[in-house]
Structure 1
Amino acid sequence: MTHPLALVMAAPNPSTMAAAAAAAAATPATALWRASVPATSAAAGSCFRVGAKSFTRLQMASEPSTRTRRVRIVHVKSGEAEGSPTTENITGDEETLQRDLQTAIKEEDYARAAKLRDELRVLQEDSKSAVLAANARFYNAFKNGDLVAMHSTWAKGDHVYVVHPSAGKISGYDMVMQSWEMVCDADHEFPLRIDLQNVDVHVRGDLGYVTCLEMVKTKGSSSWGTQIATNVFEKVDGKWLMCIHHASHFDE
């Protein structure tokens, strides 16, 4: 089965990409991504074809020199409680509740500890709901080929990156957006059919992540492409924004 997130396109022309990048910088994006060729012209049952070479220029452009590179790394410990990412960026409210809860337990003030535990649970559940909503916004933008919406779902900065199936890491907001333009310029008609399975969400402070199985089908196709995805979000000015999307082929 051909997987759906593979690109059907040749390596980009350098002069064309430079002109497109200049135009994008000059005016805000206002249109949806559209396939250059109608979906009916593609072979029946075809899906996005990934060619790692299609992303080679973006991958090279997204890697700054060692001297100037500034990387923010998130470490995830296997087996950590609730699978939460290791980070010290805990929100003030959560940090205070955690500290007060431990103090109440040490002082054997169990009534207060129970109240603090409930407040902490509500805060964490609200954060999980917000991260799931951000995850849904990302997939809606992808499904509809909506460039404006895709731009709004991502955090801006050099630390963000994407890994498309069968391709390498593409870093930096501008390069990540160019990669999504390439993905959604494939010869297929939008909207796509995207179903998510085995969705799991974890949040710790201002960092959260969602793992899921992406089931993707293009119009006119009778088969599904399957990817396993990890989507990492960070809270920026009170809004959850994607900073990492990593999708890999999954063969059952």
Structure 2
Amino acid sequence: MSEEREIEAALAANAAFYQALAQGDYTAMEALWSASEPLLCSHPGTPALHGRQAVMESWRAILTHPPAIEIRNPRAVVIRGVAFVTCFEQIDETTLAGTNALVWEQSDWRIVFHQSGHIAPDQVQPSTRNQRLH
């Protein structure tokens, strides 16, 4: 697969992640995460979670009341077989910086790491592409 197609596929997986989040779709969310690699997740204001069970339990809880979220400026890079996607997450008046790391598994990108954290409003870059999800 060409680098351009890898990046397009990583961005599509990232969009599917935020779609599952916005729709409160646990089944879709669970399918997007790696089934064979160690998982890490850091939600805003909480300690990092390690392992599939802890990560999936956190998403199950979050998805019972999914946030209205808008994603801006998704950007991807592939380094040595790992895709990294960054974006801004807008939830109400709060802007977060989000990062997903993905590995190639079962003919698709699967998430192994998600981080989301607060950033100062003046650090938000102008939007190049908005994705209203909920």
TM-based fold match above 0.5: yes
Report the alpha carbon displacement of residue 198 of structure 1 after superposing the two structures with TM.
Answer: 2.7
After superposition, what is the alpha-carbon deviation per residue over 1:22-59, rounded to whole angstroms, capped at 9, x for unaligned? xxxxxxxxxxxxxxxxxxxxxxxxxxxxxxxxxxxxxx
Partner of 2:98: 229
Query: Which structure has more strand as a fraction of its residues?
Result: 2
1:246 and 1:162 map into 2 onto residues whose CA distance is 6
Quick one: which amino acid aligns to residue 156 of structure 1? A
How far the C-alpha of 1:205 sits from its partner, in A, is 4.3
Structural mapping, 1:90-105, within 5 Å: none
Aligned residues: 121
Q: Show structure 1 runs of 5+ residues with no match.
A: 1-92, 94-122, 218-223
CA contact (8 A) 1:158 1:172 kept: no
Determine the structure 2 residue equivalent to 1:165. Answer: 44
Structure 1 moving runs of 4+ over 2 Å: none
Please tell me the root mean square deviation across aligned C-alpha atoms, in Å.
1.7
Task: Please state whether the residue corresponding to 1:208 is helix, strand or coil.
Answer: strand
Residue correspondence of structure 1 range 189-204 to structure 2 within 5 A: 192-204=67-79
Per-residue deviation, 1:167: 0.5
Aligned pair partner of 1:142 in 21, 25, 28 = 21
- Structure 2 unaligned regions, length at least 5: 122-134
Distance 1:137 1:241 in 2: 11
How much has 1:174 moved relative to structure 2?
A: 1.4
Matches within 5 A, 1:182-193: 182-186=61-65, 192-193=67-68
Structure whose CA Rg is larger = 1
Deviation, structure 1 residue 158: 5.9
Q: Look up the match of 1:207.
A: 82
* Identical positions, percent: 29
